[in-house]
């Protein structure tokens, strides 16, 4: 609602103040006649000005609101004040011309008219009564109160005084004034909470009515006239002040709902009860009622009957509306897919919706007046109780459903989602409201999906995700545990031999064997590929023998319909203790299984600090190797190859060296293995080749006629790009092709076709043949340290065989004679590697070995030191 304020003119307030002052002074000092004249003039002028202001105010409100609704109250108040002004002037003139009788009649008529206009104006003020029905009820309340008060006054005061029978005009004026005053009281009190200034306006109207009523009812003495003048002049300013701040009532405002009968209206009930009591007292003490009492009593009865008839209509209308709302509510609740329950602060069910029987098979006898938590599953009761407590405490501001299982009327458990709302602030509810929805289908589907995402489809065992969840749960309890990872090897061969179905059958039976050997509280899971894991309830020390049993069980032969199948197995064990994450613990066990597999089938290894240090070392190497290769951050050292007869250097072998700050010197084999896993071994070999060729070219320019040997990975000798890479390095550096030897270690050459079993150049692989066409020689390094034997030598397309020390050290010194003899027959040279003692040197010389290398003849050194070594031997040669 919008408050509209219209300022009252200052001249009107000045006239009221002047009128009050003059009336007080004149009434106290002058004679009655002069006082009456002066008071009449002042009252007439003051009320006339007020009437003008109120009527002008109503017109301003009308102009602003563009409606006659908000301005009618101020208009009727102005009309009543104008009537009061005119009545005062006419009464004064008649009193001077025709006498007091005529003036009294004029005052009585004017008072009745003004009082009626004031009462009407108050009822029409914006905010006092928003609808016609409300105005009618307020008017009837005022009529009932005024009539009852008048009847009580007549029966208890006026009639016993014996003042004779009053005229009809006096009765009418008295009754009208009583009703008008009652309306002012009702309007002021009932509008106070919505529009407090209505009380001010009602007080002004009451003063004006009293000022008019005193002389009209015969109170015309000097004191009474002064009081009447003061009341009449001071009332309109209050009306102006209240009406100028009129509040526009909302359009279409509805009447207030019915609040009950007489007992719900103390303003009406008390006067009516007093009138009934006064009538009873009069009947007992006095006897029959006079005509005035009877007429007023009948009028009071009619007003009360009419008011109660309207109340009955209100009750009927309100009951109809309530019944309709209740029917709609029941229809909505009964057809809802949710069960609604109302809980008191003790969490006892006080009401449930009719859908309870349809949705959950619950009857009122099973649920009402019983704790809500009694129907919740014990595993879920704690969470539901916490949410209910938080809602009661006002600390939960979330409408997120709480999942729980609820016992239905058939004794089963239903998966439900419950939304809890605090409705204690609503007088119609005053409790907690729980909306329960059956989500059995959704929960069942969710469980099936969870099971599918946590179960291995082949073996039916928990998968890695589920294993990690169970491991986390066991770690949370603080109990001792260990993880065993069992790895199978050879399933791929079964797949190639019998098909993937046979391989799957091996995995299924292996899972059954592990599960059969596991304890009841162990968790057996399948990881990806050919690995299984067992979460045990014991320490790693006790898990070791159990891991051995798992390995033996799965390594037993498998009798399949397609034939027998054999696999090998190994296991790794990791202890679960301290602040370790489940996925990290599983990785520890898998790493231990990898180390066990590297050391041979059937082994069981545990994860310890030594393995952790090795893993950190390998991780550091792998993280930095690729960038080190691109930056050339590695060194080459050169070991001289000596002619055993002349003791002069004829060649050098380039050896890789790489040093890390936190690790130290990394062995070449470890560097090459890491480069192979990272896929950068080709780049490493190429850079080593180019650097060795550049160094040889520099030495040749300085007059050293040498050959350089470069180690290569064995599969590089099958690379079709290798000849082009080698030719490019030779072209860039100007090194003759016959001064380059490409070496491959014998331990890296299997007995199968890494180096094919061909001997002649025409039958060699194209890369090897292309290298030989360039003039580059191919050498087999450290023969005797690998699985190659003498029988394979005739079939290897090599130009040089460098025998390992194991073939010429005591007591195997005779073997080098065989290799040298075979080399002489087949046309390849033989050199010795690892010459450490004078005995070794003597054995080689006696066997006819031409060249050799070793610490006795010259240790590996950087290019600067090797260059000094070459200069020294060149001077000796000269």
pLDDT tens track for 250-278: 443 344 443 444 444 455 677 878 878 87
First to last CA, the chain: 123
Question: Average pLDDT for residues 87-109, to the nearest whole number?
Answer: 71
| Residue 775 confidence (pLDDT) above 80 | yes
* Contact assessment for residue 140 and residue 306, using Cβ atoms and an 8 Å cutoff: yes
Which residues in 82-124 belong to E strands, given as ranges? none
Instruction: Output the DSSP codes for 14-31.
Output: HHHHHHHHHHHHHHHHS-
What confidence tens digit (pLDDT) does each residue in 461-479 have?
A: 999 888 998 888 888 877 7
Question: Average pLDDT for residues 359-372, to the nearest whole number?
Answer: 87
Q: Which residue has the tokens 């809500």?
A: 372
Poorest-pLDDT segment among 56-65, 182-191, 650-659, 811-820? 56-65
Which residues in 631-706 belong to E strands, given as ranges? 635-643, 649-660, 664-666
Angular region, 529: left φ>0, alpha ψ -120 to 50, beta rest = left
Question: Average pLDDT for residues 819-836, to the nearest whole number?
Answer: 89
CA distances (Å), origin 95, targets 40, 107, 169, 173, 174: 10, 11, 18, 19, 21
Q: Specify the pLDDT at position 758.
A: 43
The torsion of the CA quartet 797, 801, 807, 809, rounded to 10 degrees, works out to -170
The pLDDT > 70 percentage for the chain reads: 76
Distance CA 546, CA 539 (A): 11
- At residue 376, what are phi and psi to the nearest 5 degrees? -100, 140
What confidence tens digit (pLDDT) does each residue in 659-712 have?
A: 888 777 888 888 887 888 788 888 888 999 999 999 999 999 998 989 999 998
Question: Average pLDDT for residues 819-831, to the nearest whole number?
Answer: 88
Under 8 Å CB-to-CB from 807, ≥6 apart: which residues?
Answer: 783, 784, 815, 816, 819
Domain 335-445 has CATH 2.70.70.10: no
Q: Which 3 state secondary structure label does DSSP give 827?
A: coil
| Residue 93 confidence (pLDDT) above 50 | yes
Closest to 570 in 3D by CA, of 528, 601, 529? 601
Distance CA 445, CA 463 (A): 19
What confidence tens digit (pLDDT) does each residue in 629-644 have?
A: 888 888 899 999 999 9
- Domain 454-607 in this protein, CATH class: alpha beta
Structure tokens at 867: 């260059």
Poorest-pLDDT segment among 354-368, 459-473, 513-527? 354-368
What confidence tens digit (pLDDT) does each residue in 719-744 have?
A: 888 899 999 999 999 999 999 999 98
Closest to 678 in 3D by CA, of 622, 617, 614, 744? 622
Under 8 Å CB-to-CB from 108, ≥6 apart: which residues?
Answer: 169, 170, 172, 173, 216
Question: Average pLDDT for residues 552-580, to the nearest whole number?
Answer: 88
The DSSP symbol for 263 reads: G
Could you state, in order of their start, the residue ranges of all structural domains in the chain? 10-248+262-309, 335-445, 454-607, 631-877
Provide CATH code, domain 631-877: 3.20.20.450
Question: Average pLDDT for residues 826-839, to the nearest whole number?
Answer: 90
- Give ∠ CA 800-804-809 in degrees, rounded to 5: 130
């Amino acid at each position: 609602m919008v408050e509209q304020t219209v300022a009252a003119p200052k001249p009107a307030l000045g006239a009221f103040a002047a009128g009050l002052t003059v009336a007080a002074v004149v009434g106290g000092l002058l004679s009655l006649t002069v006082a009456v004249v002066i008071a009449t003039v002042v009252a007439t002028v003051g009320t006339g000005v007020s009437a003008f202001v109120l009527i002008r105010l109503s017109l301003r409100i009308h102009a602003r609101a563009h409606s006659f609704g908000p301005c009618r109250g101020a208009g009727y108040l102005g009309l009543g004040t104008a009537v009061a002004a005119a009545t005062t002037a006419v009464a004064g003139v008649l009193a001077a011309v025709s006498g007091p009788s005529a003036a009294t009649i004029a005052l009585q008529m004017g008072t009745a008219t003004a009082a009626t206009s004031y009462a009407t104006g108050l009822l029409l003020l914006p905010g006092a009564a928003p609808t016609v029905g409300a105005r009618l009820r307020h008017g009837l309340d005022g009529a009932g109160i005024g009539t009852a008060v008048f009847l009580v006054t007549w029966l208890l005061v006026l009639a016993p005084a014996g003042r004779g029978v009053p005229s009809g005009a006096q009765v009418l004026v008295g009754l009208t004034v009583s009703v008008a005053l009652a309306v002012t009281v009702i309007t002021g009190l009932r509008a106070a909470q919505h529009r407090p200034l209505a009380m001010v306006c009602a007080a002004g109207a009451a003063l004006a009515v009293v000022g008019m009523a005193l002389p009209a009812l015969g109170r015309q003495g000097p004191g009474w006239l002064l009081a009447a003048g003061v009341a009449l002049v001071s009332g309109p300013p209050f009306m102006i002040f209240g009406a100028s701040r009129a509040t526009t009532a909302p359009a279409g405002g509805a009447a207030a709902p019915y609040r009950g009968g007489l007992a719900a209206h103390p303003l009406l009930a008390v006067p009516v009860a007093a009138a009934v009591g006064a009538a009873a007292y009069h009947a007992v003490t006095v006897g029959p009622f006079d005509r005035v009492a009877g007429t007023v009593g009948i009028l009071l009865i009619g007003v009360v009957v009419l008011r109660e008839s309207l109340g009955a209509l209100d009750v009927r209308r309100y009951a109809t509306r309530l019944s309709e709302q209740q029917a709609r509510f029941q229809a909505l609740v009964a057809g809802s897919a949710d069960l609604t329950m109302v809980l008191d602060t003790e969490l006892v069910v006080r009401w449930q919706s009719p859908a309870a029987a349809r949705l959950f098979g619950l009857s009122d006898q099973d649920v009402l007046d019983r704790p809500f938590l009694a129907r919740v599953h014990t595993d879920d009761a704690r969470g539901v109780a916490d949410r209910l407590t938080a809602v009661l405490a006002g600390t939960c501001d979330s409408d997120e459903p709480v999942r729980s299982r609820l016992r239905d009327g058939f004794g089963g458990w239903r998966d439900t989602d419950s939304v809890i709302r605090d409705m204690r602030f609503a007088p119609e509810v005053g409790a907690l409201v729980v909306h329960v929805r059956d989500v059995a289908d959704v929960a069942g589907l969710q469980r099936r999906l969870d099971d599918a995402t946590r179960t291995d489809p082949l073996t039916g065992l928990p998968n890695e995700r589920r294993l990690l969840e169970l491991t986390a749960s066991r770690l949370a309890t603080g109990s001792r545990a260990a993880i065993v990872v069992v790895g199978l090897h050879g399933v791929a061969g079964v797949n190639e031999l019998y098909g993937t179905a046979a391989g799957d059958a091996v995995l299924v039976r292996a899972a059954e064997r592990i599960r059969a050997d596991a304890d009841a509280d162990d968790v057996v899971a399948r990881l990806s590929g050919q690995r299984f894991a067992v979460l045990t309830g014991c320490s790693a020390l006790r898990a070791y023998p159990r891991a051995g049993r798992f390995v033996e069980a799965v390594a037993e032969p498998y009798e399949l319909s397609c034939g027998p199948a054999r696999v090998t197995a190994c296991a790794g064990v990791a202890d679960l203790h301290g602040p370790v994450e489940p996925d990290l613990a599983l990785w520890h066990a898998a790493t231990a299984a990898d180390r066990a597999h590297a050391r041979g089938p059937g082994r069981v290894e545990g994860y310890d600090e030594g393995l952790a240090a090795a893993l950190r070392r390998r991780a550091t190497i792998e993280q930095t190797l690729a960038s080190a290769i691109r930056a050339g951050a590695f060194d080459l050292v050169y070991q001289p190859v000596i002619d055993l007869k002349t003791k002069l250097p004829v060649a050098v072998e380039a050896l890789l060296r790489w040093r890390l700050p936190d690790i130290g010197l990394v062995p070449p084999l470890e560097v090459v293995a890491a480069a192979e896993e990272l896929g950068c071994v080709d780049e490493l070999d190429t850079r080593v080749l180019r650097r060795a060729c550049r160094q040889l070219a520099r030495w040749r320019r300085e007059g050293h006629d040498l050959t350089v040997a470069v180690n290569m990975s064995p599969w590089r000798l099958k690379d079709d790009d290798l000849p082009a890479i080698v030719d490019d390095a030779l072209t860039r550096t100007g090194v003759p092709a016959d001064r380059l030897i490409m070496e491959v270690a014998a331990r890296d050459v299997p007995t199968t076709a890494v180096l094919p079993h061909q001997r002649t150049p025409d039958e060699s692989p194209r890369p090897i043949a292309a290298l030989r066409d360039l003039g580059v020689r191919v050498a087999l390094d450290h023969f005797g340290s690998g699985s190659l034997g003498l029988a394979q030598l005739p079939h290897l397309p090599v130009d040089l065989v460098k025998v390992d020390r194991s073939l010429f050290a005591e007591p195997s010194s005779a073997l080098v004679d065989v290799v040298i003899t075979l080399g002489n027959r087949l046309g390849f040279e033989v050199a010795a590697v690892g010459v450490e003692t004078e005995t070794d040197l003597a054995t080689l010389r006696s066997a006819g070995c031409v060249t050799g290398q070793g610490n006795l003849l010259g240790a590996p050194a950087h290019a600067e030191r090797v260059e000094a070594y070459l200069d020294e031997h060149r001077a000796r040669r000269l």
